Chain A
């Protein structure tokens, strides 16, 4: 915390270069579209409403590399965007909500979501898992957008 308070972001390239910040944002959106899009494919299968020709287990195996690539892009560009004004972000209620939702979403994705998709569990558990996953990721998106509006 103290480290962030002492940090002066005015010389950060994201604040001095006209292109750097929007480029980071574009890559951030691309990254979350890849990650959330591929996770949603599995969610739709768990809910039994999409990609029914594939099993949830196959979908997880087919998409996991892309999900990870998307998350990597988000987790590189996110902290860069954060570095442009750390004190504002730390004080921002929506940012804190977003980070909490993001941590829960990532943990959920690589634990329960993965287990349920790989081991064909009972239908009710699969549906619940798909719903929780969708709710978590949509919360992350809303939290991110509201940073600029709270």
Chain B
């Protein structure tokens, strides 16, 4: 994405309002983490059930289908708040390599969901199966690895600084500002 567009996004009034508010930014961040509590817990129990580690006394379909709407609610809350946070500091986060790693991981998660669509769609088949098939276990294990990687990359975004420290970062932003103005 061209830096001008990233700067233009960050300069939009709603993004600026979020970034500069002493209360709105941390509230959105808190909701981002609340979403993680919901989504993270639900995806973990879903995958641990598929792996045959947790909730083993319950049918696979009861656990996976029961958790599904709450998993989706948690994901929507986390992603919605995440997009707002990213938007509000688009130009600041733009050069951050951990953001790029995180976005790449999301692409892998989309591929994962397409490849293993049949596993999650046909969970009732798993109830009749005496053992959980390797393919379902593979889907669950990869899901856990991918989401844990997203969490790690996300946390690392906050620790990266461009070469030369924060001063250099603000220089980049100022330069972008100048580019947009002229």
Contact = CB atoms under 8 A, between A and B. Distances in A.
Interface of A: 18, 22, 25-26, 29-30, 32-38, 40-41, 44, 50-54, 58, 62-63, 66, 137-138, 141-142, 144-146, 148-149
Contacts of B70: 40-41, 44, 50
Contacts of B159: 18, 22
B36 to A, nearest CB: 6
B40 A41 contact: no
B163 interface: no
Given A50-B66, A142-B30, 16 more contacts: A33-B37, A33-B39, A33-B40, A37-B41, A37-B45, A38-B41, A40-B37, A40-B70, A50-B70, A52-B66, A54-B62, A63-B45, A66-B48, A141-B33, A141-B37, A145-B29
Interface of B: 22, 25-27, 29-30, 33-34, 36-42, 44-45, 48, 54-55, 57-58, 62, 66-67, 69-70, 148, 151-152, 155-156, 158-159
Contact of B66 (A22, A25, A37, A54): A54
23 contacts: A18-B159, A22-B156, A22-B159, A26-B151, A29-B36, A29-B155, A30-B151, A34-B44, A36-B38, A37-B37, A37-B39, A40-B38, A40-B70, A62-B55, A63-B45, A63-B54, A66-B44, A66-B48, A138-B34, A141-B33, A142-B30, A145-B26, A148-B26
A26 B152 contact: yes
B45 A51 contact: no
Given A26-B152, A53-B62, A63-B45, A145 B67 contact: no
B37 A146 contact: no
B40 A37 contact: yes
Contacts of B62: 53-54
A146 B37 CA distance: 17
Nearest to B159: A22
Contacts of B38: 36-37, 40
B155 A26 contact: yes
Contacts of A29: 33, 36, 40, 151, 155
A-B pairs with the 8 shortest C-beta distances?
A37-B41, A33-B40, A36-B37, A149-B26, A145-B30, A51-B66, A142-B30, A53-B62
Most buried by A among B29, B33, B58, B148: B33
B155 A25 contact: yes
A88 B44 CA distance: 34
